[in-house]
């Protein structure tokens, strides 16, 4: 393609905005004058993206009437976006960045109308909801994958895909600066530090925060000098403060706004909610105890669709239970505290175990580190030229 393409993108949430920003960096190297538009956030607009709607409009918060209003609003946005993309603003390619519930159906409609479609981040069909593979095949001309095993899996179902690396692997250094992180948090170099990451979503905090803080109280009883640090999403800070107060831990816990990477770099071990944060902890080479709790009905539904014995990303990617997972009823304060203390004790009793974990995580880090902007943009260019 000789003239700059018109590229439509839809990114939901902060993580999608980050991924799309990296992709736009690569696309601008290929086509400095390209036109990009659709739904996005601040990182995208900094790169010249024309945001018809903000990615915040796709976020769903709240309950009952508010939730219904939000969902109806999202349906209307998708309807209006589809009509606009199939009329005067028709793009050469549409790229849906994550947000599969919003993007896959839209991609399928656009593809049937002759627009080339790309999905950035393979939905986790390897973990649960394998039936989604049929939606992906109908919706996508190409999938940009952030894990190395995904293209082969998709190829078995006739879906073209490229591995472009995981952006976090380039953001997080191979050798984190623990001393600098501790100075930034006001901690001493010889402090023993436990990080608690109970999730970034309201429901995660509701189900995990109190349990994590009760576990932290038990750890504190066993190791009175330990420092406990909690990076808080600002919008959830008040709820975390209340949960700490209810557990009698308000004086023992240090809450900081954001700074999850600084906290992970500084800690000796972490109690952490299952999700992307567990991969971040692995890239920081930190021992962790992964936990998750949800509504019992949701748990039964998820368990019925789970395809692998692991839930935490580090274990899935290493294909081994290299760190403990305590899920639902197993995630008791006593069990979490015992697992955290086991890692903390290993620093004196079994340093070889910690060294082996570090080596596994370093190898994982290396396998995920790629030039994501260039590889993703190359795949889009190849699709357009084809």
DSSP code per residue over 275-308? SHHHHHHHHTT--EEEEE---HHHHHHHHHH--S
Nearest in space to 117 (alpha carbons), one of 125, 106, 107: 107
In the chain, alpha helices (H) = 13-30, 42-45, 64-85, 100-112, 132-139, 150-155, 168-171, 178-185, 202-222, 237-246, 260-266, 276-283, 296-305, 313-318, 333-349, 351-368, 372-385
Task: Please report the pLDDT score of residue 203 as a whole number.
Answer: 78
Q: Give CA–CA dist 344/340, Å, rounded.
A: 6
Task: Please report the pLDDT score of residue 60 as a whole number.
Answer: 57
46 contacts 6 by C-beta, under 8 angstroms: no
18 contacts 167 by C-beta, under 8 angstroms: yes
> 76-100 b/e with 16+ CB inside 10 Å = b?
ebbeebeeebeeebebbbbbbbbbb
Structure tokens at 232: 């808080």
Classify the C-alpha dihedral 130-134-139-142 as positive or negative: positive
Classify the C-alpha dihedral 157-159-165-168 as positive or negative: negative
Nearest in space to 243 (alpha carbons), one of 280, 274, 286, 199: 199
Give φ, ψ of 221 to 5 degrees.
-60, -40
- Please state whether 45 falls in left (phi above 0), alpha (psi between -120 and 50) or beta: alpha
Task: Please report the pLDDT score of residue 307 as a whole number.
Answer: 52
Classify the C-alpha dihedral 333-336-342-343 as positive or negative: negative
Task: Please report the pLDDT score of residue 88 as a whole number.
Answer: 80
193 contacts 183 by C-beta, under 8 angstroms: no
230 contacts 197 by C-beta, under 8 angstroms: yes
Structure tokens at 63: 């309950």
The per-residue pLDDT string of the chain (386 residues; one tens digit each, 9 = 90 and over) reads 567 899 999 998 777 898 999 999 999 999 999 999 999 999 999 999 999 999 888 865 444 455 567 788 889 999 999 999 999 889 999 999 989 999 999 999 999 999 999 999 998 887 667 788 999 999 999 999 999 999 999 999 999 999 999 989 999 999 999 999 999 999 999 999 999 999 877 778 887 899 999 999 999 999 999 999 999 988 888 989 998 998 999 889 999 998 999 999 999 999 999 888 999 999 999 999 999 887 777 666 666 665 567 788 999 999 899 999 998 789 999 999 999 999 999 999 999 999 999 999 999 999 999 999 999 999 999 999 98
Q: Give CA–CA dist 34/28, Å, rounded.
A: 7
CATH 3.40.50.2000 fits 6-165+370-385, yes or no: yes
Q: Give this prediction's pTM.
A: 0.85
User: What is the residue extent of each domain of the chain?
Assistant: 6-165+370-385, 171-368
Task: Please report the pLDDT score of residue 219 as a whole number.
Answer: 96
Task: Please report the pLDDT score of residue 304 as a whole number.
Answer: 60
Task: Please report the pLDDT score of residue 103 as a whole number.
Answer: 95
Q: Of all helices (H) and strands (E), which one includes residue 53?
A: strand 50-54
β-strand partners of 218: none
Q: Give CA–CA dist 254/345, Å, rounded.
A: 22
The class that CATH gives domain 171-368 is alpha beta
The reply to whether 171-368 shares the fold of 6-165+370-385 is: yes
């Amino acid at each position: 393609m000789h003239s700059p393409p018109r590229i439509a993108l839809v990114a939901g949430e902060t993580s999608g905005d980050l991924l799309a920003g990296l992709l736009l960096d690569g696309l601008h190297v290929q086509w400095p004058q390209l036109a990009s538009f659709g739904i996005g956030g601040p990182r995208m607009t900094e790169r010249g993206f024309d945001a018809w709607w903000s990615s915040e409009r796709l976020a769903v918060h709240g309950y009952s009437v508010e939730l219904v209003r939000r969902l109806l609003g999202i349906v209307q946005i998708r309807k209006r976006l589809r009509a606009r993309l199939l009329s005067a603003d028709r793009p050469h390619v549409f790229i849906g960045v994550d947000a599969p519930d919003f993007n896959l159906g839209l991609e399928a409609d656009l593809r049937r109308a002759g627009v080339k479609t790309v999905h950035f981040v393979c939905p986790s069909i390897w973990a649960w909801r394998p039936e989604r593979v049929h939606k992906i095949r109908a919706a996508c001309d190409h999938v940009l994958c952030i894990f190395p095993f995904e293209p082969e899996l998709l190829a078995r179902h006739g879906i073209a895909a490229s591995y472009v690396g995981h952006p976090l692997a380039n953001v997080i250094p191979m050798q984190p600066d623990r001393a600098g992180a501790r100075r930034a948090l006001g901690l001493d170099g010889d402090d023993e530090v436990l990080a608690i990451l109970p999730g970034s979503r309201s429901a995660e905090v509701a189900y995990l925060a109190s349990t994590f803080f009760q576990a932290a109280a038990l750890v504190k009883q066993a190791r009175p000098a330990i420092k406990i640090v909690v990076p808080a999403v600002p919008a959830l800070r008040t709820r975390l403060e209340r949960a700490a107060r209810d557990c009698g831990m308000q004086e023992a816990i240090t809450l900081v706004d954001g700074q999850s990477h600084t906290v992970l770099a500084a800690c000796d071990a972490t109690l952490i909610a299952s999700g992307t944060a567990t991969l971040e902890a692995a890239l920081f080479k930190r021992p962790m105890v992964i936990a998750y709790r949800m509504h019992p009905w949701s748990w039964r539904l998820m368990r019925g669709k789970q395809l692998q014995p692991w839930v935490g990303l580090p274990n899935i990617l290493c294909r081994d239970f290299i760190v403990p997972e305590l899920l639902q009823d197993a995630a008791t304060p006593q069990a979490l505290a015992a697992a955290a203390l086991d890692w903390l004790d290993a620093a004196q009793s079994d340093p070889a175990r910690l060294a082996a974990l570090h080596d596994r995580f370093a190898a994982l880090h290396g396998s995920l580190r790629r030039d994501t902007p260039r590889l993703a943009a190359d795949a889009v260019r190849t699709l357009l030229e084809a």
